[in-house]
Amino acid sequence: MIRKPFGLWLLLLATTAVNAFAQDTQYRLSKYINPSFQQITLKIDPDQATFSGETTITIDVIRQTDTIGFYQKDLNIQKAELIGKDARIPLNVSSHEYDIQQGKAQRTIPANRYKLHIVFSGSVNNTSDGLYLSKFEGLNYIFTQFEDMYARQAFPSFDEPGFKIPYQMTIISPEKHTVLSNTPVQTRQVKDGWQTVAFKKTKPMPTYLIALAVGELDSYDIPNLHVPGKIYTPKGQASRTKFAAKHTARILANLENYFGFPYPYEKLDFVAVPNFTYGAMENVGLVTYRSSLLLLEDEPRVAEQRSTLNVIAHELAHMWYGNLVTMAWWDDLWLNEAFASWMASKVMMDLYPEQNFKGSLVQERAFGADSSPTVKPVKKVVKSQSDVMDGLGLNYSKGESILQLIESMVGQESFQKGVQTYMKNNKWRNAEAGDLWEVLSKVADFDVPAMMKTYLEQPSYPLVSFSTNGEISQSRYHLSGAEVKEQTWIVPLSISYKKNGKIARTNLFLDLAKTKVNELSEADWIFPNDNAMGYMRWKVSPQQLNALLEDISALNAREKKSLLYNTEALFAAGEADLTQVMAVLNTLIADEDPMIGSAVVSTLNQFLYLVDKNNEDLFAKFVTEQLTPWFERLGTNDQPQDSTDTTRLRGAVYGVLSRYSDTQSMIAINKTLAEEYMSDPTSVPRNIATKALAAMARHSQDDWFQKMKDLYINNTDALVRGTLANAMIFSDDEHIKRTLDFALSEYVTPANTITVVSRAISDLENKNMFYQWLDKHFNALTQKMPAYHVAHFPEYLSTSCNKKDIEAAKHFYADKKDHFEGMARSYEITLSKSSQCVALKEANQDSFNKYLSEAVTH
């Protein structure tokens, strides 16, 4: 080592730190200019393609500068000036990376308080991002979706979650329209056919939670709230919101009780949006929902209530976690969503036990994506909108799993106390994940931050292996043949084991690559995942697995499901053979719990990548033999006494049989159900109807494309359209092309286009025809779809188990992926997934075919 003189070293260190800070923060606005209040006026006519506005932002300039930074995207800035006590300073605005605008003055701006005044205009978006147009039954509506970085498309602002300030919105529109925003109306003036609606000033909040709606909206009162609340819908639809309205106050009260203080805002309105990219958005006081979630029958089937109730609980949980206490930057979005998902599950367990959220293994929704060699940590560097959306699903599922794990270790009461303290400490402010871990550490007897760091600041999860001599080791789980960087975790293990004829339990933290626990030496069997709360996969010897199967009654329902999923995951990793998976499956197939039955069918579906034209007949015979007894018992009609688990099992069993079984009775059932639904969409449960219609699309000689297309066009119910969109899976090129063309029509909303396209090609073993169509229509498709769908285009449409398809994808995206934000990353993920699938198929095809042949023969 060569030492530098101390003074020079200190100077270099300081210079390096400054340069590093500049590099790290160039995608963010200056910390030396802070907004404290923003007034926004927008002039909007839903029947016009453009809008205009002006905004005044109160800012504090902390140190002198000649440049004021703010965000805008695709707006026309007509005027920008800084208003001080004694002068107006014109700003010359130039655009830079990350949508940052630099308003440069011709003289130095002293440190002081100013008002930044900007006049602007813009075009209404058509793709459900930012401020956008939505059409329904011949009428135009304007809605907004500002998370994560879309507020800048509607008005200039300090569009970062860390700038949490009050806003005052004023909207000018034709007087026939209902106008909504985050707060109650303060004044409304009408002149010459136009209304000027000024809303009350908001509480401090980030820009991504601002919302507005303009259009001929109807409404239905939400009863029993202690603040005003309505559900708004497109004209003529309000009467269909009774179910959601009835349950909202109950859900809100449950959340208030958990957090220990009332809902913190002045009103609570919902809006049913006909064209919506996501499920819902937790805008303060004006929560927007995909219309299918709110526009239901008065008393929908129990299983069909699940999504609506859960999403309402999720969005209302955000009112505390995310809205009242807000992340400081987008790298903590995962905790926003994880907490809301975790809290929603808790509400569902408390209020709707019939939905059996206690039986849900949330981690199983995360494991697939989190095992990829390309996956990034949940807590990662975020610079752009595409960075936020990269791995978005893991924000929900992995994050919720980790919170469940911590709560199970800390205890429910202590965990709740920690959350309440966290809320009290940080309300109306910004916070980081570390602030929560610090609070939870005070109620836990283990190092919460250290454990969280291993799960959230590095990708993937551990595979914990148990040797018969008591040795325990950990490695990074990955699919067979994948190359990954090795890691270690702090893995909490809650272990049940049987030794000398007695079942015992022990707990430990595995924080090394390898350790030894003598009491586990020569155990008959080991189950290291008490109540299936762990975020890991695990492996024992084949002999111990067989012994556990003989003692299967020692496990509860969650643990049985976890055992099955875990064994299938070991097979995919090359750590177990197919006979082990089938041994577990055959043990559980006799279980009378319908939740276990659904897990069995779900596991069968995991092998569909191995089903092709060469073995489809064998697979059809296999599933027909295995599932027909269940089908004969369950049928296709819901019964009054059915649990949600029974209903889901019915749909799962029928889904496999309707797809693969070619018996005359099944063909007749498919046709009857499809025709019943077409004549009366309320007569058949949606999960059954989708599968019956898909069976007719695949196999019928009749023109079911035209039948489904006509019903889609003539019925504007989002639930009916969603059922049809998911069923348009044809087997011949002509009808697939007609479906793809239909996706580009005016009848399919931008947000739903991806569903129609992805389902249309979902059965293609060779996508050559699709890429030929895509060559002609790529521009039209990407111009119509929301930015999120465009960014993830390759994952939605190009993941394949076919080598020729992979080469076709490489050729197709070569000159396209770098022209759309986020698409290159999606392309990378797609190639990795596809290559992994090909490798798995090559490794497992022979053993799968052999198993089918032997199983059907016997």
For residue 115, the cross-strand partners are 58, 83
CA atoms of 466 and 771, how far apart (whole Å): 47
86 Cβ neighbours under 8 A, 6+ residues apart: none
Question: Which residues are CB-contacts of 60 (< 8 A; sequence separation ≥ 6)?
Answer: 33, 34, 36, 112, 113, 114
Sequence-separated contacts (24+) of 102-109 with Cβ below 8 Å: 102/67, 102/68, 102/69, 103/67, 103/68, 103/69, 103/70, 104/66, 104/67, 105/66, 105/67, 105/68, 106/66, 107/66, 108/64, 108/65, 108/66, 109/61, 109/64, 109/65, 109/66, 109/68, 109/82
Rounded to an integer, what distance in angstroms lies between the CA atom of residue 283 and that of residue 271? 10
Name the 3-class secondary structure at 159.
coil
Q: Which of 147, 160, 282, 315 is catalytic?
A: 315
User: In 3-state terms, what secondary structure has residue 474?
Assistant: strand
Alpha-carbon gap, residue 560 to 580, rounded angstroms: 14
**CB-based contacts of 728: which residues, under 8 Å, 6+ apart?**
694, 697, 705, 708, 739, 742, 756, 759, 760
Active site residue 354: no
E strand or H helix that includes residue 784: helix 768-784
- Dihedral sign for Cα 329, 330, 335, 337, please: positive
Q: Please give the DSSP secondary-structure letter assigned to residue 415.
A: H
Query: Nearest-CA neighbor of 369 among 339, 337, 398, 329?
Result: 398
- Alpha-carbon radius of gyration of the chain: 28
Nearest CA to 380 out of 306, 336, 330 is that of 330
User: In Å, how far are 415, 619, 632, 698, 711 from 695, measured between CA atoms?
Assistant: 48, 16, 19, 5, 17
Cα–Cα dist 639/755, whole Å: 30
By annotation, the residues acting in catalysis are: 315
